[in-house]
Structure 1
Amino acid sequence: MSSAAAADGTQAAHDGGDTASNPAGGIRLSFGFGTDRGLRRELNEDSFLASDPIFAVADGMGGHEAGEVASRECISVLSRQAILASGSRNATAADLQLALRQADQRIREVANARAGTTVTGVVLVEERGVPYWLVFNVGDSRTYRLSQGAFGQVTVDHSEVQELVDGGYITPAEALVHPRRHVVTRALGTGSDSEADFWLVPVEDGDRILVCSDGLTAELADEQIHHAMSTLTEPQDAVDSLIQSALRSGGRDNITVVVVDAGNVHAAANAETQTTPGKPPWTRSRCRACPKPRLAQPQIRL
């Protein structure tokens, strides 16, 4: 079944996977999803949306209950956006940007700037008959892509440590243990910067997309994630395995995972824009253009 859910329970919420197809586009999506409170958190402040054509994960921040409200409101706005909820796959970056701005405004109204949320995910769209993943991101939740054997992170974290890495001040390995690794520089609902970044990536037959909160990536290295993504055939099996692995590694935060498989992709081979798997042809990411870390008004994840 498709799901738009705000996790709040004491155990993993594994609602099962689903399959959706679009006769006009010929693309068949199979997906799985799950969330877990983790071993140390009292509440699950993650929320997620898994409903063709949009798949998203929001990770709330702001302390007791407030983060849960922020992530839930974000997902609620996305699920109510007509063009995203229609299943027609005709959404554009402008439609998605409008929905994210509405979510930002709604969170500020409800939480009175006491809470915020990260959000990331993909929307399956078509441009002149060619299918694309429209990837979006605000904060440090992540979207990955496994395509033709190549696995990589599509999104770029909006965090202090990512900007330090981009500026050459620290290495990626040092970022994993940096004392400020949980400080984000963009979020919906709080702070002065809530602008999303977007990537438009051609869909290839057999693509597998992973959307997750940092409760997964803080516990598992990319190599461990790649292994589960590449060896488990069913999306729901990959979701369950990743969540359990994160729990065994410590489960220090809420963990939410959505895995989406694309099959029967006929138009992708005729796309005018071809890219190396995992390398988007277009992006609007101000962080990468910064000559030095932009550390103003960080938001500390609680």
Structure 2
Amino acid sequence: MQVAWGAATDAGGRRSANEDAVLAQPPVFLVADGMGGHVHGAMASATVVRTFAEFSDGWHPDVEVHGEDVLAAIHTAQARIRTELSERGGGTITAGSTVAGAVLTGHEGAPYWLVFNVGDSRVYRFSDRALVQVSVDHSVMQEMLDAGSLQPDQVAVFTHKHVITRAVDSGSDTTADFWLLSAGTRERLVLCTDGLLDEISEEQIAEVLAEQPLASAAADTLLAAAIQGGARDNVSVVVVDLAGAGELAHTAPRVDGGSSSEALGTTLPREQVMPTEGSA
């Protein structure tokens, strides 16, 4: 089975720097949204991407990938962020990043996605023209929604919607949430930072995914729609499809409006990966 993807990220037009980072390196795909000022936030998200890129070198088709493996990468990224801040002077400086991603793995000989999340970047699944949120935000807003103290129709005017309750940061080791989803060719995954959802609705995202059969075109179209007129925040999106041989191509990340080359990536399913539920 082959995996095809498109990845795009942009500063958004109203920010001086892009604190987002993306990784599209089969079998792992993720988006990271840095926090702590444009210098430290960019460092944190880049550290997350670099760490996962290194860990994924050992995630081959014949190696089981579990939630503990992903959590080890997250904790390593945290340790590196602490070290980097210490070398920059430490003190009261803080930095962190969200991370939302998926690893193509397997269970009982069939391909599966191991989805993971820390913070309020999101993973969606698009199937039968319906967009369904897989990940659950770690945010004050989500906690209030779950508790019933905030109603869905109040979300648009809620003033603390971007205050998160969990991050890959310089504090104590964090936890992640995991989901194991069957991976097939009739659906696609969408990973995005909150900057995308600040500008376009889930309904608009679903329309683009339905209209654009290529993952690369879908990612570029979503980014263009979000940054049209100048997005308020950095915007990052990754769209991933599974396909038969020769059906689809991928693009490397489009950064700040730059173009990207096309190629084909292949990832084989792994076996004997047990389902993972809840928090690690």
Same fold (TM over 0.5): yes
**How far apart, in 1, do the equivalents of 2:136 and 2:147 lie?**
14
- Tell me whether 1:67 sits opposite 2:61 in the alignment: no
Letter in 1 for 2:160: R
- The match for 2:96 is 116
- Tell me whether 1:38 sits opposite 2:18 in the alignment: no
Q: Scaled by the length of structure 2, what TM-score is found?
A: 0.82
- In the TM superposition, what are the counterparts of 1:168-187 in structure 2 within 5 Å? 168-187=148-167
- Tell me whether 1:141 sits opposite 2:121 in the alignment: yes
**How far apart, in 2, do the equivalents of 1:131 and 1:264 lie?**
13
- Tell me whether 1:228 sits opposite 2:208 in the alignment: yes
**How far apart, in 2, do the equivalents of 1:257 and 1:115 lie?**
22
User: Which structure exhibits the higher relative contact order, with contacts defined as CA atoms closer than 8 Å and separated by 6 or more residues?
Assistant: 2
Over 3 Å counting, the alpha-carbon distance change for 1:127 and 1:157 in structure 2 is same
Q: Deviations over 1:202-257 (max 9, x none)?
A: 11222211111111011111111111111111111111111111112640111111
Structure 2: gaps (5+ residues): 87-92, 246-267
Over 3 Å counting, the alpha-carbon distance change for 1:72 and 1:87 in structure 2 is farther
- In the TM superposition, what are the counterparts of 1:1-302 in structure 2 within 5 Å? 27-82=1-56, 84=58, 86=60, 90-112=64-86, 114-192=94-172, 194-248=174-228, 250-264=230-244, 283-285=277-279
Matched length: 249
**How far apart, in 2, do the equivalents of 1:258 and 1:211 lie?**
5
**How far apart, in 2, do the equivalents of 1:33 and 1:249 lie?**
21
**How far apart, in 2, do the equivalents of 1:173 and 1:246 lie?**
22
**How far apart, in 2, do the equivalents of 1:30 and 1:218 lie?**
26
Structure 1 stretches (4+) deviating beyond 6 angstroms? none
Decide whether the 8 Å contact of 2:51 with 2:77 is kept in 1: yes
Backbone CA RMSD of aligned residues: 2.5
**How far apart, in 1, do the equivalents of 2:46 and 2:153 lie?**
33
**How far apart, in 2, do the equivalents of 1:251 and 1:185 lie?**
24
